[in-house]
Amino acid sequence: MGRLIVISNRVSVPSAAGAAGAQGGLAVALNSALRQQGGIWFGWSGQETAEFTGHLDMQRNADVTTATIDLEPQDVEEYYNGYANRTLWPLFHYRIDLTEYDRNFGEGYERVNERFADAVFPLIESEDLVWVHDYHLLPLGSMLRARGIGNRMGLFLHTPWPPTRLLTSLPFHERLVASMLEYDVIGLQTTEWLESFLHYVQKEMGLKVNLDNSIEYNGRRVVARAFPIGIDYAEFQEAACGDVAREACQRLKASVRGRKILIGVDRLDYSKGLGERFESFSRFLADHPEMAGNAVLLQIAPPSRGDVASYQQIREDLERKTGHINGAHADVDFVPIRYVNRGYPRAELAGFYRAAEIGLVTPLRDGMNLVAKEYVAAQDPDDPGVLILSQFAGSALQLKDALLVNPHSVEHVAETIKRALDMPLAERKRRHARLLESVREQDVLHWLEQFVQVLANNERDAGMPPHDQAA
């Protein structure tokens, strides 16, 4: 099998000293694949430069080679803050009310994708497998093809794929999707988004979709498939059982003095349904005065994309809402919502999950949602907490033994909180055992292997021409 060339907006550079402690499961898994198979992880450094030079900063850390470029402020504004996070992100999360269509964003997006293509092109050797990640880089594959790259190339989209009727509100949507069909493999998180994608290519582009969900396009066959991403189960469980997690767990438990803990952990993003979650908790407190004073919601929400107005707005809304709810339900020695705008090391996070009787994961729309899986992995199997999970998270298709809720229904979520707190130990254990099996078996390594296998599997055997022989 050839080397892997991983391309994503940002690159997570492994540190020689204990990479696993600082990085998320995806970065750890990609790094270990790069270490095993050899290859390069390419992307934006996160740094700005006054004038774009295309200079590649190549580094080798912990046996992984990374290559990064700096971008101009205008690139960051139009490509990253603009088209990626003010156009595609809200649209792909069904929020056309927040979706901004600006010609400059579209131009910046194409320009940066071309810059990525120019910079990574000389790094790609003939047998390499090229694996592009996420909505920032949808047209990159077509730009590499235009530069003569005939390698197997795959795209994995971490977000949902929106319904055709929403997607068609995007100017030049046909061009964007057509550019994606230059990949050999298109991976979506779930069958729901896969069906939505196939619906678009059939209805809007009139393309033929085979029984195995592959798409006939310009005499080639493009494989479209669901690859549900998982967590690094082994790493997370180990963290959950370590000293740092134990101390974090004890610290949190001691601070609530016997009260029940509900935990939410999310990037501060409007797709995560934090406002609705707070309202639901408030309704629960109002409906169950006997429980008010006995349950605390810990919401960890590190800020993200702070340069984008809708993110500033959600932050203000949540601050107001928290103040309002706490004002209504707090007592001299008790505050019901602990709303924390900062991140914690992964091992501490694992301890907080373990301390919580309820994992409250209620996004309005989410490609997968790894927090739900981390919560399950961190539990004590002999006395596990209950996962309350939005039916609109991709992970709900796998985690069927969670208590699934409609996050828009404050009443439903409030009742489900009560049900979770009353759940007998036997039922908690039964549900948790089944959830754990799914989280353990469909972990990030499984996801990675599945994707790379399909990516590496040249379709010649199936009687279709590979890309470089296509008409």
Which among 330, 396, 333, 338 is positioned nearest to 362, based on CA atoms? Answer: 396
Which among 356, 246, 226 is positioned nearest to 298, based on CA atoms? Answer: 356
* Residues in 286-305 that interact with ligand GDG by CB under 6 A: 300, 302
Burial of 60 (0-12, 13-18, 19+ CB in 10 A): exposed
Q: Does 345 bind ligand GDG (CB under 6 A)?
A: yes
What residues does 185 pair with on adjacent strands? 154, 223
User: What SS3 class is residue 88?
Assistant: helix
Q: Does 343 bind ligand GDG (CB under 6 A)?
A: yes
Whole-number Å distance between alpha carbons of 324 and 336: 11
In the complex with ligand GDG, the residue whose CB is nearer, 101 or 344, is 344
User: What SS3 class is residue 421?
Assistant: helix
Instruction: Quote the least distance from Cβ 101 to ligand GDG, whole Å.
Output: 22
Q: Does 155 bind ligand GDG (CB under 6 A)?
A: no
Which among 276, 289, 296 is positioned nearest to 337, based on CA atoms? Answer: 296
Q: How many residues bind ligand GDG (CB under 6 A)?
A: 21
> Residue 228 gets which letter from DSSP?
-
Q: Does 306 bind ligand GDG (CB under 6 A)?
A: no
| 55 included as an active-site residue | no
Looking at 93, 158, 329, 467, which residue is catalytic? 158
In the complex with ligand GDG, the residue whose CB is nearer, 2 or 43, is 43
Question: Contact with ligand GDG (CB under 6 A): which of 277, 346, 431, 467?
Answer: 346
Helices 370-378 and 425-441, packing angle to 10 deg: 120
Q: Does 217 bind ligand GDG (CB under 6 A)?
A: no
Q: Does 21 bind ligand GDG (CB under 6 A)?
A: no
Q: Does 265 bind ligand GDG (CB under 6 A)?
A: yes
In the complex with ligand GDG, the residue whose CB is nearer, 2 or 273, is 273
Chain length of the chain: 471
- CA-CA distances (angstroms) from residue 125 to 1, 114, 456, 468? 13, 19, 14, 14
Instruction: Quote the least distance from Cβ 123 to ligand GDG, whole Å.
Output: 24
Binding segment (CB under 6 A) for ligand GDG, from list 3-11, 123-131, 214-222, 344-352: 344-352
| 158 included as an active-site residue | yes
Q: Which residue has the tokens 């006395």?
A: 383
Whole-number Å distance between alpha carbons of 217 and 239: 46
Q: Does 158 bind ligand GDG (CB under 6 A)?
A: yes
Q: Does 435 bind ligand GDG (CB under 6 A)?
A: no
* Residues in 355-374 that interact with ligand GDG by CB under 6 A: 366-371, 374
Whole-number Å distance between alpha carbons of 137 and 125: 20
Whole-number Å distance between alpha carbons of 103 and 83: 9
In the complex with ligand GDG, the residue whose CB is nearer, 349 or 455, is 349
Instruction: Quote the least distance from Cβ 432 to ligand GDG, whole Å.
Output: 19
Q: Please give the positions annotated as active site.
A: 158, 366
Chain residues binding ligand GDG by CB under 6 A are 24, 26, 158-159, 229, 265, 267, 300, 302, 343-346, 349, 366-371, 374
